[in-house]
Amino acid sequence: MRLLFKRSNPYKRMAMVMLLVAIPLALLWYADFVMRPALFEMARVRAVKIATEAIHRAVIKKVADSGVHYNDLINIHKDSRGKVVLMQADTIRLNQLSSGVTLTVQDELNKIRSEDIRIPIGQLSGIYALANLGPGIRISIMPVGTVKVDLNDKFETAGINQTRHSIYLRFETEVRVIIPLKSGESKVVTEVPVTESIIVGDVPGTYVSLPWGVLGGGVN
């Protein structure tokens, strides 16, 4: 009795193997194509938040250490009736404060380089319950260039015959965000209040109407 064997088609077998290999690769490519931009955007937002918090910490620490108060920066002159006739900014103290804060902020941002920052892959699902699940993808944050600092001020009505004069620092810098196989730069812009005072009595309209208050565009 003769047994008959059906010869398999080698091309068909090869096509099947290639298909089994191609499908997972296609799925991996699609997942990477869709997930990597989303992951980078999450890393960018996280990096800006961390850098902003670092700037605020540095300013609070420097202002607290220096013991600066409103009267140290702004001199208010009133007439015999208590009306404000002149407001003078102490530019030397303001420049010292601005320079000191800039160095402190730069040091604080440099510390971010060594931080171990990870984003759980579960956050990519957008589901709150899965946000902390899965392996953590490490992101690196590196300061780029120097920190630009402007010292500005503004006037606001604080009540009947009262004006709030606020002095604040505006920071602008860039950080490089790095995730596996992708990197990019992101701008960080934030404002941090330094000190303020409530001025009782009339404040000359020439001060209140200035876009940048007494400092006239900031002290660099």
**Mean per-residue pLDDT over the chain, rounded:** 79
17 vs 5, higher pLDDT: 17
Torsion of CA 64, 67, 73, 78, to 10 degrees: 120
DSSP β-ladder status, 84-89 and 117-120:
unpaired
Predicted confidence band at 218 (pLDDT cuts at 50, 70, 90)?
A: very low
**pLDDT, tens digit, for every residue of 60-77?**
988 888 888 898 888 888
* pLDDT at residue 14 is higher than 70: yes
72-86, 95-109, 124-138, 175-189: the lowest-pLDDT one: 124-138
Residue 141 contacts residue 133 (beta carbons within 8 Å): no
Question: Which of the listed ranges 3-7, 47-51, 179-183 does the model predict with the highest average pLDDT?
Answer: 47-51
Token couple for 46: 């996280």
pTM score, whole prediction: 0.74
Mean pLDDT of 79-97: 83
Give the pLDDT score at 128: 67
**E strand or H helix at 154, and its extent?**
strand 136-159
Q: Is 202 left (phi over 0), alpha (psi -120 to 50) or beta?
A: beta
Give the pLDDT score at 219: 46
* pLDDT at residue 217 is higher than 80: no
Mean pLDDT of 16-27: 69
Token couple for 38: 């989303």
Q: Where are the domains of the chain?
A: 11-215
**pLDDT, tens digit, for every residue of 155-178?**
888 878 888 889 899 999 999 998
Predicted confidence band at 90 (pLDDT cuts at 50, 70, 90)?
A: confident
Predicted confidence band at 11 (pLDDT cuts at 50, 70, 90)?
A: low
Give the pLDDT score at 53: 93
Token couple for 107: 């040091």
Burial (CB < 10 A; 0-12, 13-18, 19+), residue 147, is buried
